[in-house]
Structure 1
Amino acid sequence: MQLSALYRYPLKSARGEALERSATGLLGLVGDRRWMLVDRDSGRFLTQRAFAQMSQLSALYAPDGGLLLSAAGQAPLHVAVPEASEALRGVTIWRDTFRVPDAGDAAADWLSAFIGKPVRLVHVPQERTRFLPSGYGQIDDRVAFADGFPLLLIGQGSLDDLVGRVGRPLAMERFRPNLVITGSTAFAEDGWKRIRIGTQDFRVLKPCSRCILTTIDPQTGERSDDREPLTTLKTYREKEGDVMFGQNLVADGEGVLEVGMDVVVLE
């Protein structure tokens, strides 16, 4: 088996970027989901679930750790990393409420114009990251602005199986994985507990529960009228009311991943 693709999502729910190589650590791929959009008044996080146009928002990781924003009809904007202890804003993501640095008015104005409502852009420094959901991982495992876990893995064989059932092509980017594995059978990853990619080990913690976001075409931002592929996934991947596709992981220690590396199942 091999690592066939790497994806990073610097801004939660914005367009991802394909990588050939990435450093990894406590929070997954370096620069992954360290930024997030929130409602200006409530502080609640925003995603493609309610704002499908976020799929057309490019937010690239800058060499200085900042964010490079671009979108049709708007001039590009570089956003610097705010000071970790200044301009703190209360935010809510799922059940977690905490305080993180606000990226300033220029970024907020740019993104509010894009979204069509008042929003703020926030960044999470490592010391303000969240614990994993209760019952998963170890006491020192942490996550930035991802829904619950630092890394998401999907086997190419699993997507190929789904495509065959749906009957039309589906881009892997629709499912927003960080790691894509080739050479395994469909849903083989369901049975993995620990894997090694190159020289780095990872713990497989739980299946990923999927939502309406998977019905958005990442190229166009349009939702599928027939709610595919979620409709088909429900017929054979539903468990206790949740539709599962992919596996959530955490990295043990720091390392470097590169497309083409061998993947070994340790347990």
Structure 2
Amino acid sequence: MRLSALYRFPLKSAIGESLPRVQLDNIGMLGDRRWMLVDANNGRFFTQRAMAHMSQLSALWNAQGGLTLSAEGFQPLDVPVPGPDADMRGAFIWSDSMVVPDAGDEAADWLSRFLGKACRLVHVPVDRARDIPGSLGPQEKVGFPDGFPLLLIGQASLDDLSARVGRPLEMLRFRTNLVVEGSEPYAEDSWKRIRIGDVEFRVVKGCTRCIMTTIDPKTGQRSSDREPLTTLKTYREKEGEVYFGQNLINEGAGELAVGMDVEVLE
């Protein structure tokens, strides 16, 4: 088995980017979901679940950790990482509350015009990351992903789902970080520990899927037949939740590159 693709999502719920290699730090993939949009009035996080057009927002990570924002009809905007004197803002993601740096008025104005709703852009430094659900110790932290630092899907699993749905599905629809080639469909469901390169990962739980999987990442349109969620419910539902892919926690820093061998340790 080998690592066949790497994806990073610098801004939560915005466009993802394909990478040939990437660094891992103590809270996951460097630059992945370190930025988030929140309601300017109450700090609640925004995603494609309610705002499907976020799928058309490009927010590319740069080497300084900042973002370059772009979208059709908008002039690109470079947003630097908030400095030590940046205003702090309360942000709420699911049941977690955080206090994190605000990226400033220029970014907020640009993004509010794009969204059509007043928002603020916030950033999470490593030292302000939140606890992973059910974590085993204070060293296990995560930035702005829904719950866990990394998501893995086997290419064979997506191929099987596409065949069941009757049309090819894009991997980006599922917002995974790591794609593994050479395994059987859904083999990742049984993995507990894996190694890629010099980094070991704990496979902690299946990823529950929601309405976001029905949004075409190219157009931002929801599928009228609610696929692939409709098909997933026929064979991947358990106790009222639909699962596709596996959440991972990396045990230490390191580098991943497309083509690396994937070894199942347990």
Aligned to 2:111: 111
Quote the offset at 1:84 in angstroms.
4.7
CA deviation digits over 1:24-54, x for unaligned, max 9? 1221110000000001001000000000001
Shift of 1:85: 6.1
Report deviation, 1:136.
4.2
**2:36 is aligned with 1:29:** no
| Distance in 2, Cα, partners of 1:114 & 1:253 | 37
Aligned counterparts, 1:86-125, within 5 A: 86-125=86-125
Is contact 1:26–1:250 with CA below 8 Å preserved after alignment? no
Q: In the TM superposition, what whole-angstrom CA distance separates every residue of 1:211-237 from its partner, at most 9, and x where no partner exists?
A: 000000000000001100000000000
* CA–CA separation in structure 1 for the residues paired with 2:135 and 2:232: 25
Other structure's SS at 1:160 match: helix
Counterpart CA distance in 1 for 2:33 and 2:84 is: 16
CA distance in 2 between counterparts of 1:194 and 1:167 reads: 33
Aligned residues: 266
TM-score, normalised relative to structure 1: 0.98
The aligned runs of 1:8-27 (5 Å cut-off) are: 8-27=8-27
Return the letter of the residue paired with 1:187. Y
Residue 220 (structure 1) aligns with: 219
In the other structure, the counterpart of 1:234 is 233
Percent same amino acid at aligned positions? 66
- Is structure 2 residue 143 aligned with structure 1 residue 144? yes
SS at match of 1:114: helix
In the alignment, the residues of structure 1 paired with residue 23 and residue 13 of structure 2 have an alpha-carbon distance, to the nearest angstrom, of 21
Instruction: Find the counterpart in structure 1 of residue 55 from structure 2.
Output: 55
SS at structure 2 position matched to 1:173: helix
Provide Cα deviations, 1:107-151, integer angstroms capped at 9, x if missing partner.
Answer: 000000000010000001111110011x24543111000000000
Q: Tell me which stretches of 4 or more aligned residues in structure 1 moved more than 6 Å.
A: none
Answering whether residue 192 of structure 2 is matched by residue 193 of structure 1, we say yes
The 8 Å contact of residues 237 and 245 in structure 1, kept in 2 or not, is answered as yes
Query: Secondary structure in 2 aligned to 1:44?
Result: coil
Partner secondary structure for residue 204 of structure 2: strand
Aligned CA-pair RMSD: 0.9
TM-score, scaled relative to structure 2? 0.98
Contact 2:56 2:218 in 1 (8 A): yes
Q: CA deviation at 1:16?
A: 0.2
SS across alignment from 2:147:
coil
Deviations 1:234-257 (A, max 9, x none): 000001111000000011111100
Distance 1:107 1:3 in 2: 35
Give SS of 1:122's match: strand
What SS does the corresponding residue of 1:112 show, helix, strand or coil?
helix
Further displaced range: 38-47 or 25-34? 25-34
User: What is the CA-CA distance between 1:86 and the residue it aligns to?
Assistant: 3.2
How far apart are the structure 2 equivalents of 1:136 and 1:82?
28
Residue type of the partner of 2:238?
K
The answer as to whether partners of 2:86 and 2:103 remain within 8 angstroms in 1 is no
Corresponding residue number in structure 1 for 2:160: 161
Contact 2:2 2:260 in 1 (8 A): yes
Change (3 A) 1:84 1:128: farther
What secondary structure does 2:156 align onto?
Answer: helix
Question: Counterpart in 2 of 1:177?
Answer: 176
Residue aligning to 1:245: 244
Alignment partners' CA distance in 1, 2:87 and 2:129: 16
Gaps of 5+ in 2: none
Cα contact 1:22–1:258 (8 A) shared by 2: yes
Structure 1 alignment gaps of length 5 or more:
none
